[in-house]
Amino acid sequence: MIPAPFHRLPDDNLPPAETFFVKADDGVQLRLACWHGDGRATGTVLLFPGRTEYVEKYAHVAARLNAAGLAVLAIDWRGQGLSDRLQDDPRPGHIGDFSDYQRDVVEMVVSASELDLPRPWYLLAHSMGGCIGLAALHNELPVERAAFSAPMWGINLRQMPEGLALGLSYIAGRLGRGGRATPGSGGAGTYVLDEAFSANLLTHDGAEWGSLVQQAALWPDLTIGGASFDWAGKALNECTRLARLPSPDYPVLITLGDGEKIVSSTAIRERAGQWQGSHLLELAQCRHEAMMETSAVQDKFFKAVLEHFDHG
d(CA 264, CA 50): 15
Q: What is the DSSP string of 225-270?
A: -SBBHHHHHHHHHHHHHHHTSPPPSS-EEEEEETT--SB-HHHHHH
Strand order through the sheet with 18-23: 2-3, 18-23, 29-35, 71-76, 44-48, 121-126, 145-149, 252-257, 278-283
Closest Cα partner for 232 from 172, 287, 192? Answer: 172
| CA distance to 13, 187, 201, per residue, from 183 (Å) | 39, 7, 18
**pLDDT at res. 312:** 72
**pLDDT at res. 103:** 98
Task: Give the whole-number percent of the chain exceeding pLDDT 70.
Answer: 100
CATH 3.30.70.920 for the 2-308 domain, yes or no: no
- Return the number of other C-beta atoms located less than 10 Å from residue 197's C-beta: 15
Give burial (CB, 10 Å; 0-12/13-18/19+) of 2.
exposed
**pLDDT at res. 105:** 98
Please give the average per-residue pLDDT across 240-246, as a whole number.
Answer: 97
**pLDDT at res. 271:** 98
94: pLDDT strictly greater than 90: yes
112: pLDDT strictly greater than 80: yes
Closest Cα partner for 6 from 31, 27, 37? Answer: 31
Please give the average per-residue pLDDT across 162-183, as a whole number.
Answer: 89
77: pLDDT strictly greater than 80: yes
**pLDDT at res. 97:** 96
**pLDDT at res. 188:** 83
Tell me the HSE value of 289 on the side-chain side, using a 13 A CA sphere.
Answer: 21
49-71 pLDDT, tens per residue? 999 999 999 999 999 999 999 99
Q: Which DSSP letter does residue 198 get?
A: G
Say if residues 288 and 264 touch (Cβ distance below 8 Å): no
226: pLDDT strictly greater than 80: yes
Average pLDDT score over the chain: 96
Each domain of the chain, given as residue ranges in start order, spans 2-308
Q: Is the pTM of this model over 0.75?
A: yes
Using DSSP bridges, classify how beta strands 18-23 and 29-35 pair: parallel, antiparallel or unpaired: antiparallel
Using DSSP bridges, classify how beta strands 44-48 and 71-76 pair: parallel, antiparallel or unpaired: parallel
Q: Residue 110 phi/psi, 5° resolution?
A: -60, -45
249-282 pLDDT, tens per residue? 999 999 999 999 999 999 999 999 999 989 999 9
**pLDDT at res. 57:** 97
